[in-house]
Each structure stands twice: as C-alpha cells, then as structure tokens.
Amino acid sequence: MNVYPDDLFASLANPTRLRCLLLLLSHEELCVCELTHVIGAAQPNISRHLAQLREAQLVVDRREGQWVYYRLNPALPAWVPQLLHTAAEGACGLDPYAHDQAVLAKMPNRPDAPRCA
C-alpha cells in the first residue's frame, strides 16, 4: 500500500480529521457515535470526514447492524503510524486532544454497553 505524504498531510490539516485519527490511534476502533460525542460535531459532519479518511485509505470501517466502526487501516506503511504517534505525543497535553481522551473515557452508553444511538 502506498500513502503519499501530500495526501496524508492534507488529511491531517483538518482539525476534525486529525482529532479522529489521534483518537483511533489510541483505541482499537471507535463507533461513529463515540467520535460524534467526543468531538461535538453533528453525525453527518463526522461521517463526511471519516469518508474522506477512508478514501485516503487511512482508516477502514465495519458495520455491525446500524453502527459503523472505524479503525486505522492495518495495511498502512509503518511510517504513517509512527508519524501519528509522534503527533499524539506532542499534542497529549494540548486541548482539544487531551480533552478528547477524557470525554471519551467518561462517555456513557459506549458501544460495548447497550448500543449507542
């Protein structure tokens, strides 16, 4: 799989997409409802950004009933997750990135419990 740096950096340049990627980096997979809850954007907005990340082959998705779960593409070249880890380390104490992790940790009705809406 080839990931071109200009495509990757174009994806990272959008705050919503960057927040989604950094959240996915630290979690095996997340439901769209979790990302919507954490980022505080409308579901269509989050879904549009996730579709762009999927088109760029940075994430993959799976359906489970009416829910769609996303995770980083396991076929990414090693340099992409390394770059994301470096970005996550640099952003870990900065808002909104640090706040995102805290909000997700406190989210009620996460998908492993009774299903989210």
Cα 19 off chain centre by: 6
The pTM assigned to this predicted structure is 0.90
The distance between the two most distant Cα atoms of the chain, rounded to a whole number of Å, is 40
| Residue at 113 is within a domain | no
Q: Listing from the earlier edge strand, what are the strands of the sheet with 67-72?
A: 30-31, 67-72, 59-64
| Residue at 115 is within a domain | no
What's the confidence (pLDDT) of residue 117? 45
- CATH number reported for the structural domain that contains residue 60 in this entry: 1.10.10.10
Supply the range of the domain harboring residue 73: 5-105
Mean pLDDT of all residues belonging to the chain:
91
Q: How confident is the model at residue 112 (pLDDT cuts 50, 70, 90)?
A: low
Number of independent structural domains in the chain: 1
| Residue at 49 is within a domain | yes
Continuous segment of H or E residues that includes residue 62: strand 59-64
| Residue at 92 is within a domain | yes
What's the confidence (pLDDT) of residue 49? 97
